[in-house]
Amino acid sequence: MPQIVPKGRCIRFKVTNSMTESSKTWSSKTWRPKTLAVRAGVNRAFQETSEAMFLTSGYAYNSADQAAARFSGDDPGHIYSRFSNPTVQAFEERLAALEGANFCRATTSGMAAVTATMLAQLSAGDHIVSSRALFGSCNYVVAELCPRFGIECTLIDGTDLAQWEAAARPETKVFFLETPSNPGLEVLDIAAIAKVAKAKGARLVVDNVFATPVFQKPLDLGADLVIYSATKHMDGQGRVLGGAILGNDEAFLADILQPFLRNTGPTMSAFNAWVLLKSLETFALRVEAMAASAATIATRLVAQKSDVLKQVLYPHLPHHPQYDIAKKQMSAGGTLITLEFAGDTDTAQARAFAFLNHLKLIDVSNNLGDAKSLATHPRTTTHHRLAEEARLAQGVTPGLVRFSCGLEDVDDLWEDIEDSLTHVC
């Protein structure tokens, strides 16, 4: 029989190969990350080598008694795909194994993960302290949406530990941050902020989209919850949207998160889960190659003498303002680089546009983490909704370009960048 889903689905990573259990006992064996990326979450029904896709919204029961037992929780198993689905569960188990988390819940998008994480645990009168260096939609959720429901939010300079301390109040329930941030690549000290959060009785939620679980493990550094947009590096091939929430506190899952997800329904589709499940098999290989190219390009850009290029930032280059923290908590610098063009507002933006418009290989796109290299102008796209003052406070200047390094040959990428820079005057 296939693996039975325990009540509450608070399952630790477990590989089962149910049809061959007599010949191979795989249960409960924990492998290294590259093995887990290929093997975790496997639950074979017919000895299939590729995981099956369960495109079903509902499930049938053997009897009315069994249906009642499912709903009461006495009979573990699937009820409805808004609550759980075998394919989605396989993705969740595989990602939880990679992250080293006790649980993972998959959502329709990264923003569904952010929104669910906040609304599941916060009520009117509660308070969020958040780093102000956030992706535009994350800023919307904590600084605009939550306050509409009586949940206050204080945005701070997350690089200043004293500001986390000072902003926390007795009613602060959540500390929220992105590191590295989108797009400014601000790097925050997860371990140090986690200590403050613990002392203040708040949960630390880390958006780990830019670093990926391959390069950074927030839970190991003291975070309570980790959020992903699986749309980015996990799919990494521009096909599907997805998100994930991971953590270790099973009581939080059972009492707070699971009831919220089950009843409000931001559930990942089985098709998207299947695509992402298969993508996880090559995830580490892809981001390691992308990050190696990003490091090469960032180094070449810094070496480039250019009057129009004011600054190039990459977390693992020594002149990055939080280089020491980035080296301490990230095993590689990631796949993203920022280039900042010099000049007053109009000149800097015109230079950024000239650079983007002359790229021949690299696409202009607001997405990131893709096998195809992508470049964007955050001020006029991902962060266009913010007031100029708020944008500038997090380094989203008129001349800023965010570059997401893909899997193309690094020399082709470099030639495209170098050529485009010659058109910027």
Ligand X SMILES: Cc1ncc(COP(=O)(O)O)c(C=O)c1O
Give the Cα separation of 206 and 65 in Å (integer): 43
Q: Which is nearer to ligand X, 207 or 416 (CB)?
A: 207
178 binds ligand X (CB under 6 A): yes
Q: Are strands 336-341 and 309-313 parallel, antiparallel or unpaired?
A: antiparallel
41 binds ligand X (CB under 6 A): no
The three-class DSSP label of residue 291 is: helix
Report the nearest approach of ligand X to the CB of residue 120 (Å). Answer: 17
Measured CA to CA in angstroms, residue 319 lies from 28, 134, 299, 326 at distances of 44, 22, 11, 11
Q: Which is nearer to ligand X, 209 or 277 (CB)?
A: 209
- The identity of residue 241, as a single letter, is L
Give the contacts of 255 (CB within 8 A, at least 6 positions apart).
none
Q: Which is nearer to ligand X, 89 or 376 (CB)?
A: 376
Structure tokens at 309: 């290029």
Q: Which is nearer to ligand X, 136 or 398 (CB)?
A: 136
The three-class DSSP label of residue 417 is: helix
Task: Write out the binding residues for ligand X, residues 97-156 only, by CB under 6 A.
Answer: 109-111, 135, 137-138
Indicate the DSSP class of residue 385: T
Q: Which is nearer to ligand X, 177 or 312 (CB)?
A: 177
37 binds ligand X (CB under 6 A): no
Crossing angle between the packed helical segments 270-303 and 410-422, to the nearest 10 degrees: 60
| Total residues in contact with ligand X, by rule CB under 6 A | 14
Structure tokens at 254: 């059972």
Report the nearest approach of ligand X to the CB of residue 84 (Å). Answer: 21
Q: Which is nearer to ligand X, 16 or 394 (CB)?
A: 394
Report the nearest approach of ligand X to the CB of residue 279 (Å). Answer: 14
229 binds ligand X (CB under 6 A): yes
Q: What is the DSSP string of 102-143?
A: SEEEEESSHHHHHHHHHHHH--TT-EEEEES---HHHHHIII
Residue from 154, 182, 248, 338 touching ligand X (CB under 6 A): that is 182
Task: Write out the binding residues for ligand X, residues 199-218 only, by CB under 6 A.
Answer: 207, 209
275 binds ligand X (CB under 6 A): no
Interface ranges with ligand X (CB under 6 A): 109-111, 135, 137-138, 178, 182, 207, 209, 229, 231, 241, 243
